[in-house]
Amino acid sequence: MDSVLDFSTADTVNIGLATPAIDPEAQALALAAQYHNADAQTVLRAALSLYKGGIALVSSFGAESAALLHMVAEIDRATPVIFLDTGRLFAQTLLYRNELARRLGLTDLRTAAPRAALVAQEDPDRLLAYSNPDMCCWIRKVDPLDTALEPFTAWITGRKRHQASTRSALQYFEADAGRIKVNPLAEWTGKNVADYLARHDLPPHPLVADGYPSIGCVPCTSRVAEGEDARAGRWRGKSKVECGIHVSPEKAGSGI
């Protein structure tokens, strides 16, 4: 059964913390300390309450996205959900987005897209992903998301510690670029996600059965062989492990 947040005296203090007047770093440290032993649903309920009206879920509608989308819909279907349509996604991802949005009853699904003029200037032949994947990610993901997040003081991600070395120390709450970033699934494993999807009868992304356990843009996503890490198919052949949304381009590292 999902945990229900008990608004204790400590929670009332946190509501006071969740204001623009309080430094985001201080907010993140206080909230991470308070909820470090909480489960995903409790963290999510707390975040949606504390930052109500100023928080959004950013979702790729990828292989594991249905779990967090379902949790949010169970609490508040009107929560804004931001989807990055890079212009290079698999058609199956777009269809999956539509299916999940209908099934979960999401009422505020927003699509963020790259600036057409910038794409025309920097990637007119649509080959930038091969020559400079960091720049391609910046144009198609980082820049559009920065714009989409402007109205919000906090946002929710589906990142997990087991996914990459850059995420191994992930906390439930962190500060990033003046906002609070919430990671309710930080402690979850792939099995946790699979169990949740099965328990709630949520449809899988259609590409998962075709050998894609982690799904991004078409040029930078390949099938994963048995025994490989789930994210081995992302930017294959390069040391790049992040698109740049969550870490600097230097740490994302294209390795080219």
Q: Which residue has the tokens 């993140």?
A: 28
Closest residue by Cα to residue 41 from 14, 77, 5:
5
The residue annotated as part of the active site, out of 137, 217, 220, 243, is 243
Dump the DSSP string for 132-196: -HHHHHIIIIIHHHHHHTTT-SEEE----GGG-GGGTT--SEEEETTEEEE-TTTT--HHHHHHH
In the chain the beta strands, taken as DSSP E runs, fall at 55-58, 81-84, 109-112, 154-156, 173-176, 179-182
CB 99 within 8 A of CB 130: no
Q: How far apart are CA 142 and CA 195, in angstroms?
A: 31
Indicate if 243 belongs to the active site. yes
Q: Which residues are catalytic?
A: 243
